[in-house]
Chain A
């Protein structure tokens, strides 16, 4: 019985380990690749950072010394084959491989053996290039020099900050005021206003894009930060109000009432008491909204799309995928630059994040 239990536990652990590996490998692949140099990324798999068996030369021979005729069948070190076969490598029986490097006239012959090896030529160049914005020179294996433009994620990163921080704080502030009013004030229309909030929770934002874009064109707001802050505020506000109401309405009644008896105004009670007491709820919504805005692509594409000056990280990344999809050294490093901040926020505030999820932070 006990051994059966132990096997069961082992099985659970192994299955979970397998799942965790499957879930982690995609991210790890790109993380490892972002530190490999440009040629390595595009010619070999990132798993070469793990030990693998590779052919390494042990001896070099000048074919002229052997007096070989590359146009016929040759015999080198116990292996026979034509020039083409030697170009691909001919294996001898004892674990060696004979390979002809170069062309027929001035080539050389290598005797190779399989050895364990790893590719550990790590570099930070990819990050410099994706952030730096200049052109970079590469020396190809055959000696020619190739000039490749870098990218300017730096600017996109700052733009994303300018969009994400206000787009997180503004809806929280507005929603907190509203949630306070719904919870602690009496006014006509209170009930149906809140019902509207609940109904709007799941309305897809696609419904608003065309009319809002028309308004922005009429107001000449398109392509400005204000436009996108307001859009993110509008799309996040229903959820923010609903969540903050759920929290603020459960604050202890007597604390607030004693403050009112002491003559405090609603504004004072809100800023001095309710906001500080609601920090957990504010934080958990803030993380959601921040991740949502930072990772958003559609809203930015529509309201900031026309202005390359204000391009965000996600737009920049999508543009690199579109125009330079084979430049993996830029893509891998760029993907990680775009992930740094959300991952930091996520891991430092994971506690609030999970709490928010459990409270129903799910956007429509």
Chain B
């Protein structure tokens, strides 16, 4: 092979290299473009298509699930093509970026935006002005919405009811969960009992509302009752009532709604307590028995102190949950008959009354109520040295 040939080969390889580079750059641009185009087509199809429901369902699932995977793959591919220096710096953000962006868009920034909106009247901050001008505008009401949250009669009713929900709902869920866990631990049909108590956890609030509506169903006295509770009450000689709608006993009619949530949540607390109880060393209880402690003493003096941590965390979880209770009330009574709670008031103000300022103030009050838990979580996290 002479010099010229070598030169030729080198030339070819340079040209080849350039073509390959152009090809790669083109691919790097084309693949994302095609991907985005395909995703866009999918979006348009789902929004406007009149195809049969089955096909739309299938396309939706494939497009939704596949689309996200495709995006990760495309971005990873793009970054992998970069030089080492950039790749090692950018790659972590390809992985963590989408999660942080979505969290920022859906939770972090809305917190600030809601706080801002809550300072304005029902029209919200006027568009097209900067923040200072918005503050000067006539729709700025300062803390007026917060004053209204605590003075408006329906809101006061909602706050009172939420306190009831928290006190009765969370406490009784914990008590029943604990009772069932302890009993199941000693019974001869632990598994099946736990599965049946746990089953309501899989049922939606709307479904649960229907189930319990059927229990509370009211027929005028004299007619055969088809709701179980009224059938029992009339069977015992009482008068039938439309229990959750029974305004005469307000606010205690809320208890008929709270029962539903206890029914749903006892399974949750039972599972956690059951696991915690199984962690108590047998020797500890045996030692108590030898010292002559009764089973009740063992329960209060040994078991409860041992699982205190679990009790607190289960209780907090259900408190947060009952604080935001919405579906049950909305479907059962729509907040009428003195059963409004904070979340139904939030919905009513924000979306029915279209008073976004007031609605946002309610949301901020909800947020403030969970801040102690947030601080506790962060403190726990800081104690884990590992991160």
Contacts and interface: CB of A to CB of B under 8 A. Distances in A.
B171 interface: no
A317 B206 contact: yes
B135 interface: no
Contacts of A230: 102, 106
B56 interface: yes
Interface string B197-216: 11111111111011111110
Given A174-B102, A224-B46, A297 B205 contact: yes
Nearest to B186: A12
A299 B111 CA distance: 17
B37 to A, nearest CB: 16
A241 B195 contact: no
Contacts of A229: 64
Interface in A191-248: 191, 193-212, 215, 224-226, 229-231, 233-235, 237-238, 241
Contacts of A270: 95
Given A23-B196, A177-B95, A328-B214, A43 B64 contact: no
Contacts of B226: 41-46, 328
Interface-central residue, B80, B202, B227, by most chain A CB under 10 Å: B202
A298 B366 CA distance: 16
A99 interface: no
B363 interface: yes
Q: Is the interface of B mostly helix, strand, loop or mixed?
A: helix
A204 B387 contact: no
A177 B96 CA distance: 6
Q: Is the interface of A mostly helix, strand, loop or mixed?
A: helix
A221 to B, nearest CB: 9
Interface stretch (A105-113, A116-124, A181-189): A181-189
Interface string B110-145: 110110010000000000000000000000000000
Contacts of B224: 43-45
A233 B99 CA distance: 9
B215 A29 contact: yes
Interface residues of B, number: 114
Given A13-B187, A297-B205, A298-B326, A199 B378 contact: yes
Given A174-B102, A200-B103, A331-B210, A193 B199 contact: no
A291 interface: yes
B154 interface: no
Interface string A14-38: 0111011001111101100100000
A345 B187 CA distance: 27
B72 interface: yes
Interface in A312-336: 313-314, 317-318, 321, 325, 328, 331-332, 334-335
Interface stretch (B15-23, B247-255, B343-351): B343-351
A180 interface: yes
Interface in B25-54: 43, 46-47, 53-54
B100 A178 contact: yes
Contact of A166 (B60, B98, B100, B228): B60
Given A165-B64, A298-B327, A241 B202 contact: no
A101 B197 CA distance: 46
A9 interface: yes
Contacts of B184: 16
Contacts of A358: 271-272, 275
Contact of B197 (A20, A169, A266, A317): A20
Contacts of A267: 73, 76, 80
Contacts of B359: 210
Contacts of A185: 91-92, 95-96
Contacts of B54: 158
Contact of A212 (B57, B60, B110, B330): B110
Interface string B231-259: 10000000000000000000000000000
B300 interface: no
Nearest to A162: B60
Nearest to A164: B61
A178 B96 contact: yes
7 contacts: A19-B183, A27-B199, A178-B96, A199-B378, A200-B108, A224-B47, A335-B210
Given A177-B94, A295-B206, 5 more contacts: A177-B96, A230-B106, A314-B205, A317-B204, A339-B207
The 7 closest A-B pairs by CB, nearest first: A234-B106, A166-B64, A295-B204, A178-B99, A187-B92, A181-B95, A208-B110
